[in-house]
Amino acid sequence: MTTSPPLPHEPHPNHDRGLEFDLATLMSRRSLGLFFGAGTAAAALAACTPGGSASGAATTAADASSSATTTPTSSASVSATPSASPTLTRAIAECGVEIPQETAGPYPGDGSNGPNALTASGVVRQDITASFGTSTTKAEGIPLTVTLTLLDNANGCKPLAGAAVYAWHCDRDGKYSMYDAGLEKENFLRGVQEADANGQVSFATIYPGAYNGRWPHIHFEVFESMSNATAAGQVLAVSQIAMTEAACNEVYATAGYEASARNFPNTTLTSDNVFGDDGGIHQLATMSGSVARGYAAGLNVTV
């Protein structure tokens, strides 16, 4: 018999998977990136500002092509979208620096910790604001479009076309579908998308809330293919997107995010148990938009 995890308003006692998992993850994915990427790390830091656009130091043809974004299809559940597409967070000069591997946390919904959304019909979708299947409950909040650009580190940061991403996050109250009390039969704010020819995937969702013990974030897993993702197969990368402080302050001042407004000041980016080791330099989203128009978040994901 499984027991319900504690409400996400308090730090989960098992928020990571332990030392064995972390060491295995770091050795299997980060080691190659650190070995081959050591020579590019300095250039990477010089080429960009965390959460900001890449500088002109890396305006190559490859950078230009990878910086092109696609505008997600609008839907009825997302009534407002920012006018500008998200820019990429990191310059192509950072090729070799892989996305940091992180814990999937206690609420992944990928079969590793209880329920599994990946094998359910309907999980492949661009708009993840509402539940799919037997429920159509919609998560309310400020609209957010998330665009990830997948880059193949082994092939000179070539766009990783055909790969798939499973993304999930908490609602505006800091609660997770499929796990929290009253939400066990919901699966909103979870979905899978296949990368296009530019290596990009895009999700229409809401701005995630804040809960005690964590900086506001979005979880994601990268799979080699769509069929691998929907079969809950082998994962290429597990990481998280860090939201920006400015956007959080704006969003959490709006009606409906009262719980997040109370929780947000309790954890800083540097004290967060996931992003705190490096301040989220490779995971901090590039943000655009406003409360009135909705937001867009963009991130390069090198795997």
pLDDT digits (tens, 9 = 90+) for 117-146: 999 999 999 999 999 999 999 999 999 999
Q: Which residue has the tokens 């809330």?
A: 209
pLDDT digits (tens, 9 = 90+) for 185-207: 999 999 999 999 999 999 999 99
pLDDT digits (tens, 9 = 90+) for 261-270: 999 999 999 9
Residues 6+ apart with CB under 8 A from 300: 66, 88, 89, 90, 94, 148, 149, 151
Share of the chain above pLDDT 90, in %: 67
- Rounded-to-integer distance, Cα 137 and Cα 302, Å: 34
Share of the chain above pLDDT 70, in %: 69
> Is the torsion defined by CA of 277, 240, 106, 223 positive or negative?
negative
Cβ atoms < 10 Å from Cβ of 18: 9
- Rounded-to-integer distance, Cα 76 and Cα 50, Å: 33
Query: What is the structure's pLDDT at 135?
Result: 96
- Rounded-to-integer distance, Cα 213 and Cα 274, Å: 10
pLDDT digits (tens, 9 = 90+) for 62-82: 333 333 333 333 333 333 333
pLDDT grade for 105, boundaries at 50, 70 and 90: very high
Which residues share a beta bridge with 151? 159, 302
- Rounded-to-integer distance, Cα 124 and Cα 166, Å: 9
- Angstrom CA distances, 67 to 123, 238, 246, 289, 301, stand at 27, 23, 23, 18, 13
Q: Which of 206, 48, 229 is nearest to 137 (CA)?
A: 206
Q: Which residue has the higher pLDDT, 15 or 96?
A: 96
Query: What is the structure's pLDDT at 32?
Result: 32
DSSP H or E segment with residue 220 = strand 217-223
pLDDT grade for 243, boundaries at 50, 70 and 90: very high
pTM: 0.74
